[in-house]
Amino acid sequence: MITEQQKKNRLLILGIFGLTIIPFLIAWVLKENPGLVKGTTNRGELITPAVTTESNDFIGFDDFSITNTGELHGHWLIVNVIPNKGCNQVCLDSLLKTKQLRLMLNKELPRTRRIVLLFNEPATEQAKQWWLKDTLLWRLRRTDNKEDQDLLSNLLHEENIIDDALIAKLIGNENREFALNSELIRIKPSAVLAKKIIEIRKGTIPDGMLLLIDPLGNLMMQYEPGFNTYKVKDDLMHLLKISQIG
């Protein structure tokens, strides 16, 4: 006959066994089902299995970008994707969001670089307008002035351009060269990298999507068009906090 003390001893042994095996079971389930991971660490979609890149997958689009491709190594990359020859309202708005995102990182900003992947080569003048808007339109976004908001909405349409008169209005008394300086590195993906991203997206790359790449060149996370800047910031800050690289 089992005594009360023996029952307690058995329950204690089972409890110790459970405490030992349960963490391993949880880890195995999460490994096999990464989509179950929710919450502050995964507001975007984790890219699994890991997708790697090489330095030669990133080809400078223009002289500035060719000179600065070395900046990509060892940094977290905030990556806008322009899949088509045009950059529509969603596309341009995404560029402005990532500019805002990087500024929100404060002291962590130097650990990141901001790039755009161009799958199709646009006309030179067309691309110049994209970069001008990326450089200048944040000035309109930071105000509550209705005139500024109307102008911003108007300029997010690709056919509406920024001319010299509007540049002068937007930068005011600032040094023109400094005001028009851009940190955005423009990249043409190699055929290999383009294929990998197309496979991640199951064949369709939408305007305005976002990627995060870690300092080792692994594609980490993807965000759909219309992503929430603050949620991406939370994800990125978490990754920067736990990362021992970059």
Render pLDDT for 51-110 as a digit per residue (tens, 0 to 9). Answer: 999 999 999 999 999 999 999 999 999 999 999 999 999 999 999 999 999 999 999 999
119 with 91, same domain: the answer is: yes
**Chain mean position to CA 204:** 18
What pLDDT score was predicted for residue 115? 98
In this prediction, residues 34-46 reach a mean pLDDT of 58
Inter-CA distances, 216 with 65, 69, 196, 222, Å: 20, 15, 16, 17
pLDDT band at 23 (very low <50, low <70, confident <90, very high): very low
Answer with the residue of higher pLDDT: 59 or 141.
59
What pLDDT score was predicted for residue 243? 84
38: in domain:
no
DSSP 17-46: HHHHHHHHHHHHHHHH-GGG--STT-SSEE
161 with 118, same domain: the answer is: yes
Q: How many distinct structural domains can be found in the chain?
A: 2
What pLDDT score was predicted for residue 11? 59
What pLDDT score was predicted for residue 8? 60
62 with 134, same domain: the answer is: yes
Calculate the average pLDDT of the chain: 87
246 pLDDT above the threshold of 90? no
What pLDDT score was predicted for residue 38? 44
Query: What is the rounded CA–CA span in Å between residue 233 and residue 228?
Result: 9
**Pairing state between β 58-60 and 185-189:** antiparallel
| Tally of CB atoms within 10 A around 218 | 13
22 pLDDT above the threshold of 80? no
What residues make up the domain containing 94?
45-242
Please report, rounded to a whole number, the percentage of residues in the chain having pLDDT higher than 90.
75
What pLDDT score was predicted for residue 37? 44
Query: What is the rounded CA–CA span in Å between residue 105 and residue 239?
Result: 12
10 with 79, same domain: the answer is: no
What pLDDT score was predicted for residue 7? 58
Q: For residue 151, give both structure tokens.
A: 């102008």
* Total-model pTM: 0.81
> pLDDT (tens digit, 9 = 90+) per residue, 145-196?
899 999 999 999 999 999 999 999 999 999 999 999 999 999 999 999 999 9
Residue 228 belongs to domain with CATH number: 3.40.30.10
